[in-house]
């Protein structure tokens, strides 16, 4: 709040009018300040003119507001004035009404009014002071006599005459300045680069014309100018990255050398040689951009290569689709239809039916086949690492993030991302996944930068996602975004006619891998394989064939088919299991299969006393992955803690 003190209250002596006249019409800007109330009590006309404010406007502004960018320095100066009674500084700047900084010379002294201690501050524009100093120096030269001026002029004229041909032929810009900073000569190259004619520059202050501002547009104080420093300290000054300003106001990147000129031991000026480095700077910028791009691509290729090496080390069940059944031919037809497009594909089907093989076939027949197919098994990613796995993270984003890491979306940019077991993605992350599918944008964990990707999504699941949506366990909008083109991966029991071809395919591969090339397959073997129900589908068939090749002797395939059991094959003979007959005519409904699967899990949990993971756990008894079993337990709503009191 402003004080009630008025300007006329301060001047209370009999000479009030006289003092007021002196204050008002002083040539220098003056402010009367109450430092304790942070208030301008009065300001003269020169102060209003210097700062660009009307009188009433200036009185409504706090002194600290004029120095908002340097409050600490203002406080130090004010305290010094109050302690000493007066002080001076040239390190403060005021901000005028237009927002520009005005560098000022401050002289201040305390003033005792009848009611309080005030400060009278005198402000002098430093630029105007410099001009006055130059005028004073010029007058000093004039007092020394015209002969001294003529002598200096003759030196420059002689220098220009003797070097005129060199100056005109030189490719670099060259100009001379005298001790006042005024231009004495300019060569043609400098004229071409700066856009000024020589006659426009000679006799004028060169700093004010071409060197007044820094590259960022801020004021370049003449006292910091290396060019002028040369004829003050007598040293050669070289600068390799600054700007001069052309006549049209545009900047030109330059490097220059300012060399002092001496006459009879006195510094009388300098010669400046400069060259335009704009093209070189542009080339350097382009090179840095190109190198950054190369580094980015190198890093990306390294990540892709590391991923592909990891994939090579992973267990692949097959590399091509094998079969001639109507079911598999229908799948191939669907692949041929959707592969050339960028449509998202949702592959459904039981575990082990070859959903990943279908995804690879779609990618290999698409326009994206020169970029990688990146696979993410959503069932094995820890819940707290899903976002990092998908979108990557920056160093320090969380404990263990020791370096920047690309996510799977970045690795798949321009290619295809295969989301295996997509139903395992946590509900709270599904919204972020949907955003990437809709907008092609994401942020790494711990980073605010938005990145763009062009990725085709192929998802796979053995779950009934429609039911998951109905149960509010999967987002409906994400389901429809993924399910643009659905493909069902047919279980092996529905394509029994493909078993002979698949068996031969796996037998050939296993024989080569295990160096047993002479193993034969009989019609009886085919009959046994065809009669089996294959709850583990193609993956189980391949395992059975490889195991048979391992134990085979004398070229005869030794098949050892498991007993016909429920969809969950039990690896522990001592475990309680739900079995079904080998009657191939028995057809079970989906609800019956789910009921048997539920009962089988219950039996395994009873046997393991509620233990899911590790040796003796239910997942080991059922011969399935712990994460898959945990997902099924959650889906069935089974409380595994209820079995922990049971004895084994």
Which tokens belong to 438?
């809709």
The pLDDT of residue 573: 37
Q: How far is residue 368 from each of residues 362, 365, 374, 386, 416, measured CA to CA in Å?
A: 10, 8, 12, 25, 7
SS3 at position 12: coil
CB-CB contact of 485 with 344 (8 Å): yes
Q: How far is residue 285 from each of residues 95, 242, 279, 298, measured CA to CA in Å?
A: 36, 16, 10, 19
Mean pLDDT of 317-345: 85
The pLDDT of residue 231: 78
CB-CB contact of 469 with 476 (8 Å): yes
Q: Supply the DSSP symbol for 324.
A: -
Q: Of 190, 192, 224, 196, give the one whose Cα is nearest residue 209.
A: 196
Q: What is the CATH number of domain 315-490?
A: 3.40.50.300
- Provide the pLDDT confidence category of residue 646 given band limits of 50, 70 and 90: very low
What's the rounded Cα separation, in Å, for the pair 59 and 74?
18
The pLDDT of residue 54: 92
- Strands 345-348 and 456-461 come out as parallel
The pLDDT of residue 53: 92
- According to CATH, where is 3.40.50.300 located in the chain? 315-490
Phi/psi of residue 201, nearest 5 degrees: -100, -40
Cα dihedral 96/102/107/111 (nearest 10): 10
Beta bridge partners of 374: 417
The pLDDT of residue 346: 96
Which tokens belong to 593?
């299969």
Which tokens belong to 190?
């400098």
- Strands 251-263 and 441-443 come out as unpaired
The pLDDT of residue 314: 41
- According to CATH, where is 3.30.450.20 located in the chain? 7-131, 153-276
- Provide the pLDDT confidence category of residue 445 given band limits of 50, 70 and 90: confident
CATH architecture of 7-131: 2-Layer Sandwich (3.30)
The pLDDT of residue 487: 95
Q: Please check the confidence at residue 456 and state whether its pLDDT lies above 70.
A: yes
SS3 at position 399: coil
Residue with tokens 């039990």: 570
CB-CB contact of 110 with 87 (8 Å): no
Q: For 550-599, write each residue's pLDDT tens digit.
A: 988 877 888 888 765 433 333 333 333 333 434 434 455 666 677 778 88
Cα distance between the two ends of the chain: 83
What's the rounded Cα separation, in Å, for the pair 92 and 96?
13
Q: For 223-267, write each residue's pLDDT tens digit.
A: 888 888 887 888 898 888 888 999 998 998 899 998 888 887 788
The pLDDT of residue 336: 92
Q: What angle, 0 to 180 degrees and rounded to 10, lies between the N-to-C axes of helices 326-338 and 355-364? A: 40
Q: Please check the confidence at residue 458 and state whether its pLDDT lies above 90.
A: yes
- Provide the pLDDT confidence category of residue 313 given band limits of 50, 70 and 90: very low
Q: For 350-388, write each residue's pLDDT tens digit.
A: 998 989 999 999 999 999 988 989 999 988 888 888 888
The pLDDT of residue 384: 81
Q: For 47-81, write each residue's pLDDT tens digit.
A: 999 999 999 988 999 998 888 788 888 888 889 88
What is 534-600 written as a DSSP string?
-TTHHHHHHHHHHHHHHH-BTTB----PPPPB-SS----TTS---B----TT----HHHHHHHHHHH
Q: Which CATH number fits domain 153-276: 1.10.10.10, 3.30.450.20, 3.30.420.40, 3.40.50.10490?
A: 3.30.450.20
Q: For 531-542, write each residue's pLDDT tens digit.
A: 888 998 999 999
Mean pLDDT of 275-304: 79
Q: Please check the confidence at residue 91 and state whether its pLDDT lies above 50.
A: yes
Q: H helices within 196-343, ranges in order? A: 198-201, 206-210, 226-233, 278-313, 326-338
- Strands 29-34 and 173-178 come out as unpaired
Q: For 465-510, write each residue's pLDDT tens digit.
A: 999 999 999 999 999 999 999 999 999 999 988 898 898 888 888 9
SS3 at position 263: strand
Mean pLDDT of 20-42: 86
CB-CB contact of 28 with 60 (8 Å): no
Burial 540-565 (b: 16+ CB within 10 A, else e): bbbebbbebbeebeeeebebeeeebb
SS3 at position 482: helix
Which tokens belong to 467?
């039911």
SS3 at position 445: strand
Q: What angle, 0 to 180 degrees and rounded to 10, lies between the N-to-C axes of helices 146-162 and 126-144? A: 100
Task: Write out the H or E segment, with its range, that includes residue 78.
Answer: helix 71-84
What's the rounded Cα separation, in Å, for the pair 197 and 192?
8
Q: For 163-194, write each residue's pLDDT tens digit.
A: 555 555 556 888 988 988 899 888 888 898 99
Mean pLDDT of 317-332: 77
Please, what is the average pLDDT of the chain?
81
Q: How far is residue 256 from each of residues 229, 259, 299, 430, measured CA to CA in Å?
A: 13, 10, 39, 59
CB-CB contact of 94 with 61 (8 Å): no
Q: How far is residue 93 from each of residues 26, 236, 441, measured CA to CA in Å?
A: 21, 32, 46
| pTM beyond 0.75, yes or no | no
């Amino acid at each position: 709040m402003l004080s009630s003190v008025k300007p006329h209250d301060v001047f209370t002596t009999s000479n009030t009018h006289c003092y007021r006249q002196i204050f008002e019409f002083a040539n220098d800007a003056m402010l009367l300040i109450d430092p304790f109330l942070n208030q301008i009590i009065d300001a003269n006309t020169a102060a209003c003119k210097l700062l660009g404010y009307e009188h009433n406007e200036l009185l409504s502004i706090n002194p600290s507001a004029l120095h908002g960018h340097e409050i600490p320095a203002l406080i130090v100066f004010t305290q010094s004035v109050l302690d000493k009674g007066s002080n001076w500084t040239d390190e403060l700047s005021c901000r005028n009404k237009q927002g520009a900084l005005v560098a000022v010379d401050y002289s201040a002294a305390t003033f005792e009014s009848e009611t309080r201690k005030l400060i009278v501050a005198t402000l002098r524009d430093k630029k105007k002071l410099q001009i006055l100093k130059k005028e004073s120096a010029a007058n000093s030269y004039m007092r020394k006599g015209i002969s001294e001026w003529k002598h200096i002029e003759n030196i420059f004229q002689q220098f220009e005459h003797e070097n005129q041909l060199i100056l005109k032929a030189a490719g670099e810009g060259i100009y001379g300045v005298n001790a006042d900073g005024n231009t004495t000569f300019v060569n043609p190259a400098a004229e071409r680069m700066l856009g000024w004619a020589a006659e426009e520059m000679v006799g004028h202050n060169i700093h004010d014309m071409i060197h007044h501002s820094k590259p960022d547009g801020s004021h370049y104080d003449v006292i910091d100018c290396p060019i002028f420093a040369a004829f003050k300290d007598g040293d050669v000054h070289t600068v390799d990255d600054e700007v001069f300003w052309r006549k049209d106001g545009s900047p030109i990147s330059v490097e220059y050398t300012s060399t002092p000129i001496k006459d009879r031991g006195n510094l009388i000026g300098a010669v400046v040689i400069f060259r335009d480095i704009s093209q070189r700077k542009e080339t350097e910028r382009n090179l840095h951009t190109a190198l950054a791009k190369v580094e980015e691509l190198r890093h990306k290729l390294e990540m892709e290569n590391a991923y592909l090496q990891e994939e090579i080390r992973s267990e692949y069940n097959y590399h091509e689709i094998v079969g001639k059944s109507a079911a598999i031919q229908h799948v191939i037809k669907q692949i041929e239809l959707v592969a050339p497009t960028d449509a998202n594909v949702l592959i459904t089907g039981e575990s082990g039916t070859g959903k990943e093989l279908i995804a690879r076939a779609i990618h290999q027949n698409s326009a994206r086949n020169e970029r990688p197919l990146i696979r993410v098994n959503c069932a094995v990613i820890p819940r707290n690492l899903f976002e990092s796995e998908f979108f990557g993270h920056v160093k320090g984003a969380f404990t263990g993030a020791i370096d920047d890491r690309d996510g799977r979306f970045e690795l798949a940019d321009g290619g295809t991302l295969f989301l295996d077991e997509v139903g395992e993605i946590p509900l709270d992350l599904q919204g972020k996944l949907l955003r990437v599918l809709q907008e092609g944008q994401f942020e790494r964990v711990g980073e605010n930068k938005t990145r763009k990707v062009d990725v085709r999504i192929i998802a796979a699941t053995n779950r009934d996602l429609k039911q998951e949506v109905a149960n509010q366990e999967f987002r409906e909008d994400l389901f429809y975004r993924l399910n643009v083109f659905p493909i069902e991966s047919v279980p092996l029991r529905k394509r029994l006619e493909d078993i002979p071809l698949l068996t031969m395919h796996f037998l050939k591969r296993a024989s080569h891998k295990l160096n047993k090339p002479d193993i034969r397959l009989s019609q009886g073997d085919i009959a046994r394989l065809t009669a089996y129900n294959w709850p583990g589908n193609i993956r189980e068939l391949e395992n059975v064939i490889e195991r048979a090749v391992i134990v085979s002797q004398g070229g005869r395939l030794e098949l050892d088919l498991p007993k016909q059991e429920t969809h969950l094959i039990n690896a522990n003979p001592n475990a309680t299991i739900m079995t079904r007959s080998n009657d191939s005519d028995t057809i079970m409904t989906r609800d019956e299969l789910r009921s048997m699967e539920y009962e089988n899990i219950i039996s395994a949990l009873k046997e393991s006393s509620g233990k899911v993971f590790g040796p003796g756990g239910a997942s080991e008894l059922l011969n399935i992955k712990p994460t898959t079993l945990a997902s099924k337990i959650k889906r069935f709503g089974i409380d595994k803690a209820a079995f922990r009191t049971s004895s084994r």
